[in-house]
Each structure stands twice: as C-alpha cells, then as structure tokens.
Amino acid sequence: MIEAFSLRTAHHFGDALASQAALRHRVFVEQRTLDHLSYDGLEYDEFDTPAAVYLVWRDTKNIVRGMVRLLPTTLPYMMQSYWPELVEGEELPQDARTWEITRVCVDRMFEPRQRVRILPELLCAAQEWFEANGVTTMIGVTRKHLLNHFIRRGVTWLGSEAMVEGEMEAAFRVPVSMIRPDLHCAKFEITGSRLRIASDDRLAA
C-alpha cells in the first residue's frame, strides 16, 4: 500500500515525512554524492512546501524504501525553476491539471525481490491520486530509458537530453491515463487500489 500525505496530513502516518527525507539523503547525498540541501541526515529543498504531496512505500518496520513527490505547476516547480531549457518549442505548463513528479527514488539496499515492486506500485498510486484530484497530465525530468521501461505508451519528450546532476536526462509529459505500468503490474500481480490517504485530506476525492 502506498501512503499519500502533505505537510498538513503527515501526522496521520507517524514518522513517514522524516523517513522519506532520510531516504532522499541516502540516495541523493550519500550514494549519488549530489550537493543537495541536508541537515541531520535528512534531504530537503525549497519545494518541500505545504503544496507538495508525498507518496511513500514503507516496509514492515515502517521505513520508507521508495517515494515520489508531486508538485503543482501553479506554484514554482523544479523543471520551471532549474531546467526550463529542456522544454523546446512550447510554454512551460502552469495549470491546476498538470503536476510534476520529482524526487523519485528507491532504496537500492532493500531486499531485491520486494524492491522491484516499489516503483510500479508508486506509479499506480500516483495515477490514482491524480485521477482523484482532477489532474490530467504528469510532467517531469528523468532518464529516457528509465521512464520508457515502465511507461510504454503516451510519453512525449519535450526537448533534447542534457546533463542533469550527472545523468543525461530529458523533460517529458504523459497523460495520467497512461501512467500505470501494465506489464509490471501483470508480472508482479499488482491489482486493485494501491493508495491510502488521510480521511481529512481535502485534496482527495
């Protein structure tokens, strides 16, 4: 089950907010040695605002082993702020029905047989959350082969690849209806709803 929360609803999920920041620190600061903001073993940035929505996969000890962060494009977001040049020939999106997926990470040290399910389940949950909240389009910046491995149809690349934090990446857009990784869901028998939200989450339907 994937838990979804914001700063307002994080108290329903114990230490999940801190645990996702600890995972980000392990992945981005310790393993990839990126110069991200961090403090006391927690990674954060200027987009960790009340508008951000966190989707997390936790193990049986409630440690976050995989997560994504969703950002509305009606407020400053990562592609707009850091890599606008990756979008060629069109305006950067800024509307309530388009959200950005960011800080996608999975704990590489976690048990491999379970680890392979994490990102497919996160994508399924992201689709659920988007659909429940009237979002029609997901955008982001990532490595082409990684996105194409999971989402086989509907991806539009918005410009050329460029070096982003040590990797060749590109900006993309995909309809929410195409996010679910069907081949992986069939392989790992991922069915039904994957999303758990707080009962007082006003954003959720």
Give pLDDT tens digits along the chain (205 positions): 899 999 999 999 999 999 999 999 999 999 999 999 999 999 999 999 999 999 999 999 999 999 999 999 999 999 999 999 999 999 999 999 999 999 999 999 999 999 999 999 999 999 999 999 999 999 999 999 999 999 999 999 999 999 999 999 999 999 999 999 999 999 999 999 989 998 656 544 3
> What is the rounded CA–CA span in Å between residue 159 and residue 173?
11
pLDDT of residue 202: 53
Encoding tokens for residue 43?
Answer: 């990674």
Burial profile 12-26: b = 16 or more Cβ within 10 angstroms, e = fewer: ebeebbebbbbbbbb
pLDDT of residue 201: 60
> What is the rounded CA–CA span in Å between residue 105 and residue 101?
11
pLDDT of residue 204: 45
Strand segments (E) across 107-178: 137-142, 156-157, 162-164, 167-175
pLDDT of residue 51: 98
